[in-house]
Amino acid sequence: MSHSILNTTIVGSLPKPVWLAEPKKLWAPWLLEGEALAEGMQDAVRLVLREQESAGIDIVADGEQTRRHFVTSLIEQLDGVDFANRKTVRIRNRYAADVPMVVGPVARTKPIFVEHARFLRAQTDRPVKFTLPGPMTMVDTLYDGYYRSREKLAREFAKILNAEAREIAALGIDVIQFDEPAFNVFMDEVRDWGIETLETAAAGLGCKTAVHICYGYGIKANDDWKKTLGSEWRQYESTFPLLAKSKIDQVSLECANSHVPLELIELLRGKDIMVGAIDVASAEIETPEKVAQTVRAALKYVAPEKLYPCTNCGMVPLPRAVAQGKLKALAAGAAIVRKELAQR
Ligand code: ZN
């Protein structure tokens, strides 16, 4: 890692350039096709890597420049899935989305993101993170017309994810992160089979493993949902003790402008903590001092070598200049606190 403490990283997505997809839009369709699309994706990955490096981010990622959607882009490439006949379902009990349909036994007959991961690894000397959806969030982002059991399907996805993740880790990727926003909604399922399927997906990778749990992008359905959660968001309270006992190395939580009580971090004793210090639901760019305040507050509950200043969630819906400003603020805020700690 670049520093011995407070290494910065991002959760996942970054805005796409205007020539690749329509800006400021979630799940925007590609503006290129065929070979031009493949080349365009690679150029976008190069671009976001340079932007993260120049901002001073320590553990960089591809910003999901090769994916239209963080879940369906994987599901659509599996056998047993009909992605042409899409269905509308409610995701995380919150918003309607057009999703692929499972019509038979799911199987991974070819590598899915492995070539993208290889390209990413070759483009930077910094430690790299690669993100994959988690099994529960996958199950929640499709219409199941075959298994008729979220648990059964999650167990199948966990095996598929593990096969994919093993090939990605073998390329020299430093961190593989599974995105499980569904962990903040279906707490009983998290306990019953969510943690177990996540561990299956992350088993034996030989790199650091992470799970990202969040309150979502800054879209209206999420903002409306957050208003129903009361003055303290305690969703993590039931999940963190289970994750503390799991083999997952790193866990994220939202700390910037959220109502999450930071003492919940103590429930994750022993784990690396990705501290969300950038609000992705606001276009206002944090000052480095604001980031530093969030990091200092979290330091009451986690040692600096285990604290990774991070974004709350993905930044794909934000204007590019805003996202870039936030990356710089994140790195600068971490640097302020690093300096303070060195002077003690
Ligand atoms: Zn998120």
pLDDT tens per residue across span 54-103: 999 999 999 999 999 889 899 999 999 998 888 888 888 888 888 889 99
pLDDT at residue number 227: 85
Taking the centre of ligand 1 as the mean of its atom positions, its distance from the CA of residue 119, in whole angstroms, is: 24
Separation of CA 33 and ligand 1 centre (Å): 28
Distance 234 CA to ligand 1 centre (A): 16
Over residues 298-305, the mean pLDDT reads 97
Kindly state the percentage of the chain with pLDDT values over 70.
100
* C-alpha of residue 39 to centroid of ligand 1, in Å: 27
**C-alpha of residue 213 to centroid of ligand 1, in Å:** 6
Please tell me the distance from the alpha carbon of residue 116 to that of residue 329, in angstroms, as a whole number. 28
212 CA → ligand 1 middle, Å: 6
- Give 343 Cα–ligand 1 centroid separation in angstroms: 34
* pLDDT at 1 > cutoff 60: no
pLDDT score for 134: 97
pLDDT tens-digit map of 119-142? 999 999 999 999 999 999 999 999
pLDDT confidence bin for 234, thresholds 50/70/90? confident
Distance 35 CA to ligand 1 centre (A): 30
Give the pLDDT score at 222: 84
The residue among 205 and 25 whose pLDDT is bigger is 205
* CA 107 to centroid of ligand 1, rounded, Å: 26
CA 108 / ligand 1 centre spacing (Å): 25
**Class at the top of the CATH hierarchy for domain 34-343:** alpha beta
- For residue 229, what pLDDT is reported? 85
Q: Rounded to the nearest whole angstrom, what is the distance from the C-alpha of residue 236 to the centroid of ligand 1?
A: 14
pLDDT at residue 217 is higher than 80: no
Q: How many CB atoms lie within 10 A of CB 190?
A: 24
Single pTM value for the model: 0.96
Q: Which residue has the higher pLDDT, 26 or 120?
A: 120
Residue type, 61: A
Calculate how far, in angstroms, residue 252's C-alpha sits from the geometric centre of ligand 1: 9
Band (218; pLDDT cuts 50, 70, 90): confident
Distance in Å, CA 337 to ligand 1 centroid: 25
CA of 228 to the centre of ligand 1 (A): 18
CA of 219 to the centre of ligand 1 (A): 12
pLDDT of residue 215 exceeding 90, the answer is no
CA of 120 to the centre of ligand 1 (A): 21
- Each residue of 156-192: pLDDT tens digit? 999 999 999 999 999 999 999 999 999 999 999 999 9
Q: What is the mean pLDDT of residues 132-153?
A: 95
